[in-house]
Amino acid sequence: MVAGSGAPRVSWNGLRNPILSDATAGEKDQALVWAMGRWHMLFSYVTNDVPVPGGEHWNIAVASSSDLVHWTAPTPWPAQPGVVGVASPDIVRSPSGLFVSTYDSGPGELGGGQAKLYYRTSADLETWSLPRPLALGLHPGPGDRLIDPALAWTGSGLILGYKYGAVSNSTSQHFEIAWSPTGSLDGPWTLVGRPDIVVYGDTLENYEFLTIAGHWRVVATSNRFDQPWMFDLGGGDPSSPSSWLHWVRGAMLRFPSQSWDSGAGISSVGYEHANSVFLCDARAATGYYFATYSGSRELSHFGGWGHAQIGIARSTDLVHWTVPPAG
């Protein structure tokens, strides 16, 4: 996402993948925006490296950079009351100019409930409002699991995409669309339905909605094999909520493999190649699209999620991608 405040700066020749890594934490599910003369990244920040699933701790951290090479130290958000942890942030800018971060209570709610959706707002991407629940009335049951929220203001209300279903059964997890006709984050929210996207016989996760050349796209990760994909909105007028159920021209985003995001076995089982992709259209200033994504050479650390790091690729056409050298 490019929000203004001067031309985005990218020192491509100085970049080394991964561009963000931490010796004591896994970093993934990133969202990136250029604003106020700097790049700002929000990401899942996973600490407490223990071999037992569920022993790791999830939070969201913030880092910023002037050129994508030199980053400030990650600053985790304060602990959110009522939840075990938070994860999977997205960033969009509202019609009022405020930045909105949507996210989920990744490991779940205190007391044993499944993950729910939340949002926070900011004028400067540094100071954030208190958390508020997002579309809680759609699936309020303690066993209802909602993750990976993404927003799109269409000029006729507000679209919300998210993943819904049981954590223990991948076949019951689905990409869902909801609509706030008032355009308010607080609704009222109406469930629209499940988009007609199938990848490898399964659904998508880690969504990002964005416009390219005036046309809406969704960038997401396949639930099976954790591969990056992009689809075009194909249902007609985007101001009609039902149009968000129909998507066409799906294509995988193919980033070259490197040592830091390759491993033994199958991607999503033995390692992560390009999970949680997030796309920025910076062509007006740089001539390129930039995609950030997370990778890990193994999936044993941090409760089985792997010691994830964040890399970057660029493209002029969304088909052919190049990456900086591996560090």
Tens of pLDDT, residue by residue over 160-217, are 999 999 665 556 899 999 999 999 999 999 999 999 999 999 999 999 999 999 999 9
User: What is the pLDDT at residue 104?
Assistant: 98
- Among 161-165, 168-172, 240-244, 284-288, whose mean pLDDT is lowest? 168-172
User: What is the pLDDT at residue 145?
Assistant: 96
Residue 15, token pair as written in the block: 């970049």
Percent of the chain's residues with pLDDT above 70: 96
Q: Is the dihedral of CA 80, 83, 86, 89 positive or negative?
A: negative
C-alpha angle 310/47/85, rounded to 5°?
Answer: 100
Q: On the CB side of 218, how many CA atoms lie within 13 Å of its CA?
A: 35
Q: Is the pLDDT of residue 34 over 90?
A: yes
Peptide bond just before 142 cis, omega within 30 deg: no
CA separation for the pair 1, 57 (Å, rounded): 28
User: What is the pLDDT at residue 169?
Assistant: 55
pLDDT band at 307 (very low <50, low <70, confident <90, very high): very high
pLDDT band at 148 (very low <50, low <70, confident <90, very high): very high
User: What is the pLDDT at residue 3?
Assistant: 60
12-315: CATH number: 2.115.10.20
Q: Which amino acid is at 48?
A: N
User: What is the pLDDT at residue 115?
Assistant: 97
CA separation for the pair 299, 273 (Å, rounded): 11
* Total Cβ atoms within 10 A of residue 121: 16
* Residue 23: partners with Cβ closer than 8 Å, 6 or more residues away: none
Helical ranges in the chain per DSSP H: 283-286, 301-304
Residue 16, token pair as written in the block: 């080394």
Three-state SS for 53?
A: coil
Q: What is the pLDDT of residues 249-283, one digit of tens each?
A: 999 999 999 999 999 999 999 999 999 999 999 99
User: What is the pLDDT at residue 50?
Assistant: 87
Peptide bond just before 18 cis, omega within 30 deg: yes
Ramachandran category for residue 5: left, alpha or beta (phi over 0 → left; psi -120 to 50 → alpha): left
CA separation for the pair 103, 131 (Å, rounded): 10
pLDDT band at 54 (very low <50, low <70, confident <90, very high): confident
Q: Is the pLDDT of residue 235 over 90?
A: no
CA dihedral 249, 255, 261, 262 (to 10 degrees): 90
